[in-house]
Amino acid sequence: MEKIDWNNLKFGYIPTDYNVRCHYANGEWSDIEETRDEMIPIHMAASCLHYGQEAFEGLKAFRCPDGKVRIFRMEDNAKRLQSTCRALVMPEISTERFCEMAKRVVKLNAKFIPPYESGAALYLRPLLIGTTPDVGVKPAKEYSFIIFVTPVGPYFKGGFAANNYVIMRQYDRAAPLGTGRYKCAGNYAGSLLAGKIAHEAGYAGEFYLDAKEKKYIDECGAANFFGIKNNTYVTPNSLSILPSITNKSLQQIALDLGLKVEQREVPEEELATFEEAGACGTAAVISPINRIDDMERGLSYQISKDGKPGPICKKLYDTYRNIQYGIEPDRYGWVTVLDITEE
Ligand SMILES: Cc1ncc(COP(=O)(O)O)c(C=O)c1O
């Protein structure tokens, strides 16, 4: 294994030793395989390549100060994958199989779990693809489910910082009754152009409004949005956003910290009233928001008063990270502890 510079990892791809796989044919899933092969043999007519029959997930495992390894909320990722499977007419992976494969792939690649001090983590990427050769638009008969892992760096290199975002009125990420609430490849391909335009204009990411009325905040790139005001955590309720596991966890932590939680429509104009706001997801936990611009309407919502993350975002972030690292009690059974002490 080449020496890994744990302190300078990006959110990219570094090869590890093993990935785990299973295959679906004739109505059943095969035994789980462990392989060193990074390639997937795939037919050029496979349904995932043409019609996007693909579902994926993203979760993390952490090396903790007590020497143990913890995987965060993997049952929730299993359940979300099942809901994507139902929407894309793909066979479901049971929670039991998903968790067994997740634990196994982390253990097999224990030496790639970054040290606690680096702030980095082992990212797990489960993916499910339809593999049947067919040019007809219909669900595949065969599928492969794979979980690979790769070490990824902390999102904030220079520490927790607040960023600027831009509302994209000329693009929608997903339609209200479309696939926005599922984690499938097409949603991300469809968001790349808006993301590119936002980044080229110097923003950390793009905001989407609801596609039907263009009135309410939907999502913030590949993250959910929340705002804080009057001791309340406010987050959009929309059919076209991905149900973020980070957001769900932050809502619980907010309640535990004595905040109120409101999940409801958030009109764009309400942005002017938030004392703090953030984008949330597995990659960053919370990416605090400094300012949100609506270029077409010439509006700018300055959220942070001093350009820095607010105290409630900081408290939510710290509590969340401490639960992931086993520093604060896991009151809701979110973490799975793996006993891997050896390097
Ligand atoms: C579109 C989108 N929204 C929100 C999220 C955040 O979800 P989670 O907190 O489960 O990572 C993600 C990332 O997974 C995403 O891709």
Evaluate: CB of 243 within 6 angstroms of ligand 1. Answer: no
Of all residues in the chain, the percent with pLDDT exceeding 70 is: 97
Contact 259, 231 (CB under 8 A): yes
Contacting residues for 74 by C-beta, under 8 A, at least 6 apart: 59, 98, 99, 102, 124, 336
Q: Please report the pLDDT score of residue 155 as a whole number.
A: 74
Q: 235 CA distance to ligand 1 centroid (A)?
A: 14
Evaluate: CB of 220 within 6 angstroms of ligand 1. Answer: no
* pLDDT tens readout for residues 255-313: 999 999 999 999 999 999 999 999 999 999 999 999 999 999 999 999 999 999 999 99
Ligand 1: which atom is nearest the Cα of residue 220? 3
Ligand 1 atom 7: residue of nearest CA: 244
Contact 227, 277 (CB under 8 A): yes
* pLDDT tens readout for residues 140-199: 999 999 999 999 997 766 668 899 999 999 999 999 999 999 999 999 999 999 999 999
Q: Please report the pLDDT score of residue 190 as a whole number.
A: 93
Band of the pLDDT at 320, cuts 50, 70, 90?
very high
DSSP for 152-173, written as a single string: E--S-TTSS--EEEEEESS--S
Evaluate: CB of 245 within 6 angstroms of ligand 1. Answer: yes
6-152 has CATH 3.40.50.150 classification: no
For the chain, give every domain's residue range.
Answer: 6-152, 163-324
Q: Please report the pLDDT score of residue 158 as a whole number.
A: 63
Q: Do domains 6-152 and 163-324 have the same CATH topology?
A: no
Contact 283, 239 (CB under 8 A): no
Q: What is the mean pLDDT of the chain?
A: 95
Catalytic-role residue among 10, 60, 157, 183: 183
- Give the separation between CA 198 and CA 139, rounded to whole angstroms: 35
Q: Considering the domain 163-324 in this protein, what is its CATH number?
A: 3.20.10.10
* pLDDT tens readout for residues 58-93: 999 999 999 999 999 999 999 999 999 999 999 999
Active-site residue 183, yes or no? yes
Evaluate: CB of 246 within 6 angstroms of ligand 1. Answer: yes
Q: 133 CA distance to ligand 1 centroid (A)?
A: 31
Evaluate: CB of 290 within 6 angstroms of ligand 1. Answer: no
Please name the residue ranges forming H helices in the chain: 47-51, 74-87, 95-108, 185-189, 192-200, 245-256, 311-324
- Which residue from 244, 248, 250 has its CB within 8 A of the most atoms of ligand 1, so it is best to mutate? 244
Residue 272 φ then ψ, to 5°: -65, -15
Ligand 1 atom 5: residue of nearest CA: 223
Evaluate: CB of 268 within 6 angstroms of ligand 1. Answer: no
Query: Distances from the Cα of 320 to the Cαs of 112, 228, 241, 256, 325, in angstroms?
Result: 23, 17, 22, 12, 9
The pairing of beta strand 232-236 with beta strand 299-302: unpaired
Query: Distances from the Cα of 290 to the Cαs of 43, 227, 277, 287, 305, in angstroms?
Result: 47, 12, 8, 10, 8
Ligand 1 atom 2: residue of nearest CA: 222
- Give the separation between CA 43 and CA 29, rounded to whole angstroms: 19
Band of the pLDDT at 215, cuts 50, 70, 90?
very high
Q: pTM score, two decimals?
A: 0.97
Q: 242 CA distance to ligand 1 centroid (A)?
A: 6
3-state secondary structure of 219: strand
